[in-house]
Amino acid sequence: MLGVIGGSGFYSFFGPDARAVNLDTPYGAPSGAITVGTVGGHDVAFLPRHGANHEFSPHTVPYRANMWALRSLGVRRIFGPCAVGSLDPALGPGSMVVPDQLVDRTSGRSDTFFDSGGIHVGFADPYCPSLRAAVTALPGVVDGGAMVVIQGPRFSTRAESQWFANQGFRLVNMTGYPEAVLARELEMCYAAIALVTDVDAGVETGQGVKAVDVFAEFERNLVPFKQLVREALENAAGTSGVTTCEHCRPHDGVTLPFELP
């Protein structure tokens, strides 16, 4: 099964024939029930990142439970569509970007399953190349860029966003970490698909970022963004079956302190 972890607006990704699956994990309950349906004849599992009623802020999302639940259900490849701010004036609202790098600026989040055992996971290239290719092959998609993940729930100050932009980062987001590294630890392919909803506070003059404007911009672009994700799922389903690619299997030859679900 392919997986999608979606944010606002993705909660009705399937039709009425979909079924809900409730799972528990050693890390508590996931954000919500996992909905299993079909896209282009392929089974797809959808999990609402922020909960069915958007009850989880970015820093309170149960990331470990979410990833564990998807793996337990048989998911091995995941797309993570998300809303982002732009740090590059060339990427205006409505741009759809597939980042190739991640910068973690969060704090205090549970970001590993390996609290014992001395396990180290390679993460130099945080996103699955085969899943990225399934999206970047589609028309109108911007390929590449570093996404800096901030703690939230507040937006960046003007000085912070200027700092990030000066470092060459192109996108800013609140949920991309630890989602990506937890997928890698569980040997699941993962790629983010970013929809630009705003230009960040320090990149241009103005009032800065407001949540109401972010949600409104996401809603305006929701139909084409959903279609992009559906087409990416169809591309991915036709490439490598249900297996995790070699790039996303960091534990080959390593004895783990527990068995992967």
Q: What is the pLDDT of residues 119-177, one digit of tens each?
A: 999 999 999 999 999 999 999 999 999 999 999 999 899 899 999 999 999 999 999 99
Instruction: For residue 8, say whether it is annotated as part of any ligand binding site.
Output: yes
Rg (CA), the chain: 17
The answer on whether 158 is annotated among ligand-binding residues is no
Work out the average pLDDT over 30-38.
93
200 is catalytic: yes
Active-site annotation holder among 88, 198, 213, 252: 198
E-strand spans in the chain?
Answer: 2-6, 19-21, 34-39, 42-48, 77-86, 96-98, 101-105, 141-143, 146-150, 171-173, 189-199
Say yes or no to pLDDT of 16 above 90: no
Instruction: Evaluate whether residue 259 is within a structural domain.
Output: no
Mean pLDDT score, 33-61: 92
Q: State the total domains in the chain.
A: 1
* Residues spanned by the domain of 42: 2-248
pLDDT at 41: 83
Catalytic residue among 88, 100, 104, 200: 200
Domain assignment of residue 138, yes or no:
yes
* Domain annotation covers residue 257: no
75, part of any domain: yes
Residue 156 lies in a domain: yes
Q: Round to whole Å and give the CA distance between 247 and 183.
A: 12
Residue 254 lies in a domain: no
Residue 240 has pLDDT above 60, yes or no: no
The domain that contains 50 carries what CATH number? 3.40.50.1580
pLDDT at residue 239 above 80? no
Please tell me which residue, 147 or 39, carries the higher pLDDT value.
147
**pLDDT grade, residue 201 (50/70/90)?**
low
125 is in an annotated binding site: no
Residue 147 belongs to a domain? yes
pLDDT at 13: 74
77-81, 220-224, 240-244 — which is least confidently predicted? 240-244
pLDDT band at 7 (very low <50, low <70, confident <90, very high): confident
Q: Is 213 part of the annotated catalytic residue set? A: no
213 pLDDT band, cuts 50/70/90, is: low
Q: Provide long-range contacts, Cβ within 8 A and 24+ apart, for 58-61.
A: 58/151, 58/152, 58/153, 58/174, 58/175, 59/106, 59/108, 59/109, 59/151, 59/152, 59/153, 59/174, 61/31, 61/175
Does the annotation flag 57 for ligand binding? no
The reply, when asked if residue 44 is annotated as ligand binding, is no
Give the per-residue pLDDT at 249: 93
Q: Calculate ∠ Cα 68-74-77, nearest 5°.
A: 80
Domain assignment present for residue 255? The answer is no
What pLDDT does residue 237 have?
86
Residue 40 pLDDT level (bands cut at 50, 70, 90):
confident
